Amino acid sequence: MVFENMDRIIFAGDSVTDMGSAQPVGEGLFDNMGHGYPRVIESLVTATYPERSIRFTNSGISGNTSKDLLARYERDVLSLNPQWVSICIGINDVWRQFDSPALTDQAVDPVEYEENLRTMIEQAKMVAKGVIVCTPYYMETNKSDFMRARMQEYVGICERLAEEYGCRFVNFQAVYDKFLQYKHSSLIAWDRVHPNQIGATLMAKEWLSKCGFEYDHTPEA
């Protein structure tokens, strides 16, 4: 696994990352990490690698677009001196284009999204040893659906920037596309966006698979 003893991992994002975490930054005991994929990741890593002490921090805030996240990025991410930064943002950038089409200032188009994400990656690489770029997603099997098609543009931006900057890339959209070949989205999320524990586990497994996680790891003596 790429995470070393005393590393700090910060999860930056929106409600999918937040999922009831303490605000503006959640970590430590009780439910401060929320109940989304960051909490599942923390649980699996801590249970499987007990010899390593790794600090997990949830900096997700519900409703954030990439513009909102960038505005608080220094306070909630960079100033916390992370060794790893995981960025998952973009769902609201797209969603606001469809649920609030008249409020154009609340959405973020692909051009601005790319600029915001690029800035976050560049700034994170200046303070952290690794950046993990995770895609936004929409749980819709019909890829011609307007919102699903639009979301794919943002997924493509994430993939391209991750490759350009040498980041680890986690394609949450592809994870859900595969799962929905077998199960309906209602099993995971009533609104096709906010996952229950099944969805959080799917996301955590994919995220960990890109970080060298070994389920059969034997703790070091």
Residues marked active site are found at 15, 191, 194
Kindly state the helix (H) or strand (E) to which residue 13 belongs, with its residue range.
Answer: strand 8-13
Question: In the β-sheet with 130-134, what is the strand arrangement from edge to edge?
Answer: 55-60, 8-13, 84-88, 130-134, 168-170
> Cα separation of 119 and 132, whole Å?
14
Which CB contacts under 8 angstroms, 24+ apart, belong to 94-102?
94/136, 94/138, 94/147, 94/150, 94/151, 94/154, 95/147, 95/193, 96/65, 97/147, 97/150, 98/146, 98/147, 98/150
